Amino acid sequence: MLVAAGCGGGSKITNPVLARDFPDPFVLHVGDTYYAYATNGGGKQVQTATSKDLAHWTPGPDALPHVAPKWSFNGKTWAPEVLKIGDRYVLYYATNQQIGRAVATTPLGPFVDDSAAPLVAQPELGGAIDPSPFRDDDGSLYLYWKNDGNSLGTKTKIWVQRLSPDGLRVVGPAFQTGEVNDALWEGQVVEAPEMLEHDGRYYLFYSGNDYASDSYAVGYATCKSAMGPCVDAAENPILKTGCGAYGPGHNALFGDWTAYHAWNKAHTQRQLWISKLEWKNGKPVVDGPC
């Protein structure tokens, strides 16, 4: 068991921390509360849960109860991530192979998307999914995503584009980070990008292989800047099946922790797991799932 030091006096974390279907998780820490978001399920467009200590989680409301834009698709809202910008929260999500954004004044919403068109689409590349915002040390905002090339039988790649200061628009051209499914363990897919700056270096975390299989896993690449180019780490994958976590992936980084989903043994639920993220000789190491 892990101990969440400084959280609730040091609560013991036993995985899965949320033994229910909660795929593609993201965790936001605001004040004394952790807010988790997940892909649609249980009749909700964006599932939520809250915790004070990372060990005990309470399911919350639908953060995006109405997917209003005509270009979106109710019932298929995937991979939500939230960034606090000023006094507002911006939720990025995928629907109908396109990426949208919605705004709220509180972490649990309700978030409202008033956009007339998607933020990112890329239909010629199979569409765009798995949006992930990143704020650099100088305050610059970026959005990462994966083009859904595997739906066309082509390569999948991780892309990046600058965001406007309010986080509601993409600015300038989109760039390939250099991350592409070219390693054996990645299979036909690289997805779920997550950028992190640590000690002046940039690390792009991502998942690879078939999300429905035990081969799904997490790796990372080191990048020259927030926009790349990025090069895969030789020791990938750094998080893979083990200790009751089947096909762990789609990780999200917060503080010294990483949240991710993993199938239960019956492969009926992708449950919420949390592990420590440590650093050894400049390399990230996930203390888990064991």
Q: What pLDDT, on the 0 to 100 scale, is given for residue 1?
A: 55
- For 184, the 3-state DSSP assignment is helix
Q: What pLDDT, on the 0 to 100 scale, is given for residue 178?
A: 98
Distance between terminal CA atoms of the chain? 9
Q: What pLDDT, on the 0 to 100 scale, is given for residue 71?
A: 85
Residues 154-192 have pLDDT tens digits of 999 999 999 999 999 999 999 999 999 999 999 999 999
Give the contacts of 69 (CB within 8 A, at least 6 positions apart).
Answer: 100, 113, 114, 115, 116, 117, 118
Q: What pLDDT, on the 0 to 100 scale, is given for residue 95?
A: 93
* Fold of the domain built from segment(s) 2-287: Tachylectin-2; Chain A (2.115.10)
Helix ranges (DSSP H) in the chain: none
Per-residue pLDDT 10s for the chain (290 aa) are 565 644 444 578 999 999 999 999 999 999 999 999 999 999 999 999 999 999 999 999 999 998 767 888 777 899 999 999 999 999 999 998 999 999 999 999 999 999 999 999 999 999 999 999 999 999 999 999 999 999 899 999 999 999 999 999 999 999 999 999 999 999 999 999 999 999 999 999 999 999 999 999 999 999 999 999 999 999 999 999 999 999 999 999 999 999 999 999 999 999 999 999 999 999 999 998 98
Q: What pLDDT, on the 0 to 100 scale, is given for residue 70?
A: 81
Its pTM stands at 0.95
Q: What pLDDT, on the 0 to 100 scale, is given for residue 7?
A: 41
User: Are 261 and 247 in contact, with CB atoms under 8 Å apart?
Assistant: no
